[in-house]
Amino acid sequence: MKLVANKKIDEKKGEICFEINIPYEEIEQFLEKTAKKINKDLKIDGFRAGKIPFDVVKKQVGEMYLLQSSVEDIVDTALNQILKENDLRLFITPKIEMDKLAPNNPIEFKATIYNLPTVELKAWDKIKIKSEKPEVSDKEVDESMKGMLEYLAKEKEILRPITNGNVAILNFDVSVDNVPLEGGSAKDYHLVVGQQTMIPGFEEALIGLNAGEEKTFNLDFPKDYPHKPIAGKSAEFKVKINKVMEREYPEINDEMAKELKYGSLAELKEAMKNNLLGEKSKNADIQNMNQVFDELLKKADFDHINDAFLDQETRVMLNELKQNIEKQRGNYDHYLEHIKKTEEELLKEMRPEAEKRVKISLILKEIVEKNQLSVSEEEINQQLTQYGEAAEEMKNNKRFLHYIEQNLLNKKTIDFIKETLGLK
């Protein structure tokens, strides 16, 4: 690709800014490529889908549309060429500022690339941490067994009033200030009375009710209720009991164990103990590595870290938070209301942890380079096998392959640190 790139270096900030100009004749090939992609979806009289000439497509959708749809590909191609010509690597997403994007004109934009901060790591292989061997008691196994019984319990309908431990199949409607609460109604809701999964007082109000009975009562939502608009407010609850069920738990013996595909109760308990030990070992491993990271930070000296690294990591942390809230079927806006913070305040609060994560990432990279750690093509291909038939397609996805490689390299680096410090 023919282009003009004027380079400006800011050594203090660790930035390189390229002012880039791409002639229009270099852009046309990208417009044609985009036109081919959308060709099959266009319906134009006199032409078969997928066989429409470029000039006709351009006239139909407009050159500006083709240009806007192609600009990411154009910028990526130009940037890769500049990086190669200047022997540079990207460590975080560059800053792109579009100066000129118009039909039948050259494209002009600025690309700011951030140099990787350097780190000096001193005698990290002498680090010592406090590490305790995980153990599982018989009491913990018994508690785990009780939890498992909840999943094995069978339910049968009874004609007696509700008591703690019974299951109530009920309808309920909730209103606040005489207005029905959005999402505050349910039909045939399955509730184990006494497990305190509802707001305080709700389950207690059901005690003594029989199937077919109705009851109206008022309760206050807790002041720390996640949905802030109703936190601390009084609400009216109307309930109708459809069924009352009694839970029957299996007897803990060899027969129960055999139903779960274990040879005996002792074998089942041993398996549960091993599972608990595995969980404790994972948690201990995380705690150990957190100690190691804290010690590594004490032994590292960094030069200037550009704010762009912290900005990007903070955004990564914010996206992780949003994904976790969504997994728990929560609402991000409600979460902000609950913690009484704006997104800007939350980002500011995350910044120290983002800086720590960036520094740890730099330390790991230093360990990789100093100890010549790498991931082979064979290891990447082995990892791809878990994706079955999709593996071949994924081999052509450079970004995904880079993601796989980085994950494997990170794991290899952590294993190397553990081995060096005697933690494996």
Number of domains making up the chain:
3
Last residue within a domain, chosen from 93, 115, 137: 115
DSSP conformational letter for 107: E
- CATH number at 74 reads 3.30.70.1050
Domain annotation covers residue 127: no
List all residues 6 or more positions away from 289 whose beta carbon is below 8 Å from its beta carbon: 414, 417, 418
Are 282 and 411 within one domain? yes
Domain annotation covers residue 72: yes
129 near 292, Cβ under 8 Å? yes
- CATH number at 163 reads 3.10.50.40
Domain annotation covers residue 203: yes
pLDDT at 323: 94
Are 274 and 300 within one domain? yes
Its domain, for residue 237, covers: 154-248
Are 161 and 282 within one domain? no
Are 280 and 403 within one domain? yes
pLDDT at 39: 85
- 3-class DSSP state of 96: strand
Are 296 and 320 within one domain? yes
pTM above 0.85, yes or no: no
| Helix locations, 62-169, DSSP H | 63-85, 138-152
Domain annotation covers residue 133: no
Domain annotation covers residue 195: yes
Are 15 and 56 within one domain? yes
As given in the structure block, the two tokens for residue 101 are 């994007």
In this predicted model, what pLDDT tens digit does every residue of 173-189 receive, in sequence order? 999 999 999 889 999 99
Domain annotation covers residue 413: yes
Last residue within a domain, chosen from 84, 115, 146: 115
Are 390 and 291 within one domain? yes
pLDDT under 50 in the chain at which residues?
none
Domain annotation covers residue 228: yes
DSSP conformational letter for 348: H
DSSP string for residues in 365-383: HHHHHHTT----HHHHHHH
409 near 373, Cβ under 8 Å? yes
- 3-class DSSP state of 98: strand
Last residue within a domain, chosen from 57, 85, 115: 115
Q: Give the total residue count for the chain.
A: 424
Domain annotation covers residue 134: no
Distance CA(289)–CA(234), nearest Å, equals: 47
Are 266 and 373 within one domain? yes
- CATH number at 285 reads 1.10.3120
Are 213 and 305 within one domain? no
pLDDT at 300: 96
Are 190 and 91 within one domain? no
Are 285 and 412 within one domain? yes
pLDDT at 332: 92
DSSP conformational letter for 422: T
DSSP string for residues in 193-251: TTS--SSTTHHHHHTT--TT-EEEEEEEPPTT-SSGGGTT-EEEEEEEEEEEEEEEPPP
How many C-beta neighbours within 10 Å does residue 274 have? 11
In this predicted model, what pLDDT tens digit does every residue of 347-364 receive, in sequence order? 999 999 999 999 999 999
Distances (CA, A) of 189 to 172, 200, 226, 383: 8, 17, 21, 43
Helices 24-39, 63-85: inter-axial angle, 10-degree rounding: 120
Are 176 and 107 within one domain? no
Distance CA(227)–CA(339), nearest Å, equals: 11
